[in-house]
Structure 1
Amino acid sequence: MDGVVFLNGEFVEASQAKVSVFDRGYLFGDGVYEVLPVIGGKLIDQENFLIRLKNSLAAVGIRWPYSEERYLDILEELMHRNEVEEGGVYTQVTRGVAAREFAYPRIEPCCMAFAFKKALVDNPLAQTGVAVVTVDDIRWKRRDIKSISLIGQCMAKQQSVEAGAYEGWMVEDGYITEGTSSTAYICKDDTIITRPLSRAILPGIRRKSLLKLAEMEGVRIEQRLFTVEEAYQADEAFLSSATTIVLPVISIDGKTIGNGKPGKYAALMRQLYIRMAADESPASRLG
């Protein structure tokens, strides 16, 4: 909560950044957001970031605040100003400032971004694995939009933390949708299984990259719904997100998955993604 942030065309100290109480992001959660990982001083998965942000903005009818090229320049400048070699950049666009009316007004969007440092590559949880619990999916029906309205996910994450777990896997009609802040995968008979894209889940950028990498590696993939019981019986399980890359899941609802240790596919997919990041950051220590 310090350093330099970007707000509506200016780089300012975080303590000096101010947003109107009439911003529709504050009043309605009327906005979208994105997170880009930073590895080796490089913004990773930039193209997929732009695609998903474009789709989210279009879905809710908010126009781009800047050109794609300018947007990336802003985020890169922010990363450098905060001396982030590894971590991430968060950015969000809200509809803007207007009197409180439910219908969309014709106003200028507001854009904000901040950078943060975090160990992504040498995360000790990649070696130990994490525990997951299942929670009810109580969210709205347009989960494919990366909306800043995240109270459903916050409630589910809190429930998971109070149950002693690292993450919650949300369940709807007996099937796992996704994690509160991650994508869910199970592995069975040397096949990676994850839910297909629809309005029921967020189109994860790490998911997209990992499935492409798995296909290139010759790993079998099934994109289909899977039940909680299937997850209990999986050979292994893992999750992915911008700031975790890939983490093995060693237990679900207190039930040991596989042999209770991180599995080979979680390790493989994490290794492949980090290698991809090294290729995007040729001067970094990852290569």
Structure 2
Amino acid sequence: MIAGMDQKADIFEARRREFAAFLRSRRERLSPAEVGLPEGFRRRTPGLRREELAMLAGVGTTWYTWLEQGRDIRPSAQVLNALAGALRLDEAERQHLFTLNNRQTPQAAPSTPEHVDEPLQRMLANLTQQPAYVLGRRWDVLAWNPAAEVLFGGYDTLDRDERNIMHRLFADPAHRRLLVDWESVARVSLAMFRADSARYAGDPDFERLIALLKQANGEFREWWQRHEIISPLSGVKRIDHPIKGRMSFEHTGLTLTSQPDMKLIVYTPLADDDTNRKLAELLT
């Protein structure tokens, strides 16, 4: 009982820290001109002053300062809406703001290993011409099909951290070389991962992975501090395969209704770069 209470308290504290850092990052990116305020005297720090943001949101300066200090304050939905409007947040960022302030007792992530059910395994196996894999709550690759293996390399020899998408993007040089547009893919993926990870702020497994990536990669360390958030996106991913060269795929992420912490990621080969033929040759 005591251990469970301590864990929930740690989760609340981690969410407050994340919320405070997110507020600061969004306040500092706004200029007075963007919100109709005069520039005034020379500013020592970028962005709006705390008192300016508090005025725009209709809250007290001291109270807003406490929010940025990570104090134990639980703003109402009305105040969160006011803060989102004052900070000019988009829909994904607004959702992130609310996620970090869930006023119900946060639940710790399940401690049991994640399991991919047999029907999903069979679906993966039958996607013979489309590389696909299943991601868990921490973006670990839990299951994959042969097409994904010939495209991205073997997963069986990788341990759990190495099979993590963020780890592959930021700490695996071979995987980085596969991605023609690595920087844009990495930035977008990190912003989506950050939005997903808000639900697990304070979870030791997430915290360990994030600390590992901060230590391993300077770009991850720098971009993580920017608190960029976006909703899940589909798009085109270009691969520079070591055997077949340039290949182009449209990738789509599908949330599983039966297991909402999991996603099915599917890569559909495009006509560009003769991708269908190249993939078929790799599979044979």
Common topology (TM > 0.5): no
Structure with greater helix share of residues: 2
TM-score, normalised by the number of residues in structure 2:
0.25
Structure with greater strand share of residues: 1
TM-score, normalised by the number of residues in structure 1:
0.25
